[in-house]
Amino acid sequence: MFESIQTAPPDPILGLTEAFKQDSNPDKINLSVGVYQDGNGKTPILATVKEAERRLLTEENSKSYMPIPGDPTYGRLVRELVFGKDHPILSGGRGATAHCPGGTGGLRVAGDYLHKLHPDAAIWLSDPTWANHPAVFTAAGVEVKTYAYRDPATNGLDFGAMLDSLGRIPAGDVALLHASCHNPTGIDPSVEQWSQIGEVLAERGVLPLVDFAYQGFADGIDQDAAGLRALCEKVDQLLVCSSFSKNFSLYRERTGALTLVGATAEQVGKVMSQVKVVIRANYSNPPAHGAAIVAVVLQDEALRADWEVEVAEMRDRINGMRRLFVDRLAAKGVERDFSSIIEQRGMFSFSGLDKDQVAALREKYAIYIVGSGRINVAGMTEANIERLCDAVASVL
């Protein structure tokens, strides 16, 4: 069976971390994978997560299977985080949540559901988007198409072109939107623009699928959900994929969710029954630990407040690094205008570095960034910024 098998290419993001680990250069810098690093270049476990785990160790009393959509309390907490506690979607019972293995797991369950129940639906992704989005939906059998997003001339949002291409999506297709901290560009629509997006999608009969992997990394937990909540005023059906990899730093615990919103409680119940069939045939039911941590933190008032402080610390450090990076490049006489990086939000920025410059950074300086020129700002520290800016100046 295996004689004819050829080696697959490395993953465009995770493959870089494998290469980084093997690099023997003591000054190497990893700005590839979207993982937060503190000022010392470490990815520590959050103190609130440690405390939740300490409690779980003594209080957890069974390792029996989870229900197919996971713990209902976790599902409610996810919906409260996404929509806000008093949102009509919650009081009207119009939302249902499945705990999935990571945000990627949520996306894949959504893809499997779409392929099975809406086989003619294509999914439209922003150009550019997270490198794994096309792979996830293609693997699920869903046709992938793209809509306009970034304006290369300004390194900002080309909202006119975006709205125009969303307005041409055929009814019955799906449009994937990034709730905040767009990956890879860091460029987000304003709340007013989200409203307009919602109007266009509602008018076209296009289902929004909102990928919410960075809640809290732009401006705050509720602030980052404002666009999505504005969208919900215009559409009555949508899918939301949440991830707690970044804001709880739970990367390896694979903690995410798929939330369904229907026009009525009855409708969403039917859709969830189908999603359960999809999950059962995939991983059966979710791994409990990460969701249990999230549930402990979010239900305890003091822990929740501490967690929001921890998220704010991560956010503030990244934003400080954005400014420092732009300032240091300017101080080194780099003429290209990088100032848009300060406006961008979340972990990533689109540097505009081309493939050859990305390759030169890696070969000459052991600096790893994604081939598209995406930089993980969270990998910058005061200790590596000078070397990084010298290297970027030299490849420019």
The catalytic residue positions are 130, 211, 246
Q: Does 37 bind ligand LMR (CB under 6 A)?
A: no
Shorter beta-carbon distance to ligand LMR: residue 183 or 242: 183
Among 20, 31, 34, 187, binds ligand LMR (CB under 6 A): 34
Residue 12: CB minimum distance to ligand LMR, A: 9
Among 33, 238, 250, 378, binds ligand LMR (CB under 6 A): 33
In whole angstroms, give the CA distance from residue 241 to residue 69: 14
Residue 264: CB minimum distance to ligand LMR, A: 34
Residue 33: CB minimum distance to ligand LMR, A: 4
**3-state SS assignment for residue 26:** coil
Sites for ligand LMR among residues 156-215 (CB under 6 A): 183
Please state, in angstroms and as integers, the Cα–Cα distance from residue 228 to each residue in 88, 172, 174, 177, 261, following that order.
Answer: 14, 20, 16, 9, 12
Structure tokens that stand for 313 in this block: 């610390």
Shorter beta-carbon distance to ligand LMR: residue 131 or 191: 131
- Nearest residue (beta carbon) to ligand LMR: 34
Written as one letter, the residue type at 356 is D
From residue 120 to residue 159, the character string flagging contacts with ligand LMR as x (rule: CB under 6 A) and all else as - is ----------x-x---------------------------
Residue 254: CB minimum distance to ligand LMR, A: 11
> Would strands 238-243 and 207-212 be described as parallel, antiparallel, or unpaired?
parallel
Shorter beta-carbon distance to ligand LMR: residue 186 or 198: 186
Shorter beta-carbon distance to ligand LMR: residue 132 or 255: 132
Residue 372: CB minimum distance to ligand LMR, A: 11
User: 326 φ, ψ to 5°?
Assistant: -65, -45
Name 99's bridge partners.
Answer: 257
Residue 116, C-beta contacts closer than 8 angstroms, at least 6 positions apart: 274, 278
Shorter beta-carbon distance to ligand LMR: residue 107 or 228: 107
Question: How many residues contact ligand LMR, by CB under 6 A?
Answer: 6
Contact in structure between 48 and 327 (CB atoms under 8 Å): no
Contact in structure between 233 and 69 (CB atoms under 8 Å): no
Q: Does 13 bind ligand LMR (CB under 6 A)?
A: yes
Residue 329: CB minimum distance to ligand LMR, A: 23
In whole angstroms, give the CA distance from residue 342 to residue 340: 5
Name 277's bridge partners.
Answer: none
Shorter beta-carbon distance to ligand LMR: residue 11 or 327: 11
Which residue carries 């004689």 as its tokens? 3
Q: Does 351 bind ligand LMR (CB under 6 A)?
A: no
Contact in structure between 25 and 230 (CB atoms under 8 Å): no
Contact in structure between 108 and 257 (CB atoms under 8 Å): no
Residue-by-residue DSSP string for 28-53: -EE--S-----TTS--PPPHHHHHHH
Shorter beta-carbon distance to ligand LMR: residue 20 or 130: 130
Residue 13: CB minimum distance to ligand LMR, A: 4
In whole angstroms, give the CA distance from residue 243 to residue 87: 20
Contact in structure between 31 and 380 (CB atoms under 8 Å): yes
Contact in structure between 173 and 200 (CB atoms under 8 Å): no
Contact in structure between 97 and 79 (CB atoms under 8 Å): yes
Residue 376: CB minimum distance to ligand LMR, A: 7
User: 388 φ, ψ to 5°?
Assistant: -60, -50
Q: Where on the chain is the footprint of ligand LMR (CB under 6 A)?
A: 13, 33-34, 130, 132, 183
